[in-house]
Amino acid sequence: MFILILLICIVTCCETQTTSTPDIALCIADRLSAGYGLKNTESVPHITTKRTKRLLHPVNKQLPKRAIVIGASVGMGRELSKLLAADGYNVGMTARRLELLKQTQQEIPTQTYIAQMDASKPEEAIGILNTMINDMGGLDLLVIALTGFYDCDFDARDWKGSLPVLDVDIVGFFALARTGLNFFEDQGYGHLVGFSSIDGIRGVAGSPAYSASKAFCSRYLQAELNKYIQRNIPIFVTDICPGWVNSKNEIDVAQMPEAYWVESLDDATKEIFEAIKNKDEIAYITKRWAKVATLLSTMPTDLYNALSARPGGGF
Ligand SMILES: NC(=O)c1ccc[n+]([C@@H]2O[C@H](COP(=O)([O-])OP(=O)(O)OC[C@H]3O[C@@H](n4cnc5c(N)ncnc54)[C@H](OP(=O)(O)O)[C@@H]3O)[C@@H](O)[C@H]2O)c1
């Protein structure tokens, strides 16, 4: 407990010290480009960044907003589809289980589109995505909420036991994200939202390939985001990084005394929706996981393994 409190104090201090770093860096860059020396940076007022300007891109408010959620048959993708519809979006939903998509469609009173899609077959999947974008008359928001996690056997020594996350969370994710971004680039604006995980921050012993696949999702989304910021293009990218979410209501927390911070589907999805509306760059779900994320990325290996191997550890 003492170590945990100490670590949280360290993280809080680190955060306080680094909050203004980007502004200082921008001020320095601004001053250098204006021919000033580094000594003069202290009195420079806050400067408007290109990112702020990107928000000013005009969007046609006459048309209904259109969103596609990939991985919408259950869990956070399904719940998010309902929230987006309630917010006025025409929503397209895809997954392998068409029957579940049809059920969700019945629960949404506004215009919806559904299509069966298997992201482990990327050529077919991007064809289905492009057709859906066409059928919907365009796209404003693409959410990729799928995972092959539950189709894997991470204990298998045979490498194929982990193949579903490599196929779905890496290749499928990339193919679908890139296809969506191609559309946004041609259109000149758009918003890509992808799901990573706290498990992607540090190598998780119990599910190495999943952990690595989620690290891929985060780094890829971050790279695309940086590209659009540097080129001043109003395409937004959000990395949704959940902790532990009871996304199928299958976790009975009362039966799991070691379970920590298991979020309800409802609370998690509301925060995700809020992050999408804010066009956040990265959103830890729920917010308190942000501190754990900082700890995970800075903790020494021996301390990490001592904590992670304990009952209730594992992240
Ligand atoms: N729940 C958590 O604690 C947690 C924590 C961190 C990160 N995440 C991440 O958050 C995202 C959503 O999680 P969740 O718990 O809501 O997931 P979930 O309940 O397992 O739902 C996953 C969705 O992906 C779809 N899917 C799976 N394989 C697919 C494939 N090959 N092709 C197309 N669709 C496929 C599933 O539909 P079908 O089976 O019908 O295809 C389902 O709609 C995932 O990326 C997950 O890795 C979850």
The string of pLDDT tens digits covering residues 126-145 is 999 999 999 999 999 999 99
Place of tokens 């001043």: 232
Is the model's pLDDT at 5 over the cut of 60? no
d(Cα 85, Cα 108) in Å, to the nearest integer?
A: 7
Q: What is the mean pLDDT of residues 187-194?
A: 98
- Give pTM, 2 decimals: 0.85
Q: Which atom of ligand 1 is nearest to the CA of 242?
A: 6
Give the C-alpha distances (Å, rounded to integers) separating 238 from 220, 224, 259.
Answer: 11, 10, 28
Q: Domain range for residue 223?
A: 65-308
Q: What is the mean pLDDT of residues 43-51?
A: 34
- What pLDDT does residue 43 have? 34
Helix, strand, coil tally for the chain in percent (to 5): 55, 15, 30
Q: Within 13 Å, how many C-alpha atoms sit on residue 91's CB side?
A: 30
- What pLDDT does residue 84 have? 98
146 C-alpha to center of ligand 1: Å? 4
Domain presence at residue 91:
yes
Q: Which atom of ligand 1 is nearest to the CA of 74?
A: 43
The string of pLDDT tens digits covering residues 147-158 is 999 999 999 999
Of 41-55, 61-75, 114-128, 144-158, the least confident: 41-55
State the CATH number of the domain containing residue 245: 3.40.50.720
Domain presence at residue 205:
yes
Question: Atom 41, ligand 1: which residue's CA is nearest?
Answer: 96
Mutate to test the pocket of ligand 1, among 83, 98, 147 (most ligand atoms within 8 A of CB): 147
Domain presence at residue 48:
no
Ligand 1 pocket: which residues have CB below 6 Å?
71-77, 95-97, 100, 117-120, 145-150, 168, 195, 197, 242, 244-245, 247-248
- What pLDDT does residue 9 have? 45
Report the number of distinct structural domains present in the chain.
2
Query: In 3D, which of 72, 131, 67, 66 has the Cα closest to residue 96?
Result: 72
Alpha-carbon 58 to chain mean position:
25
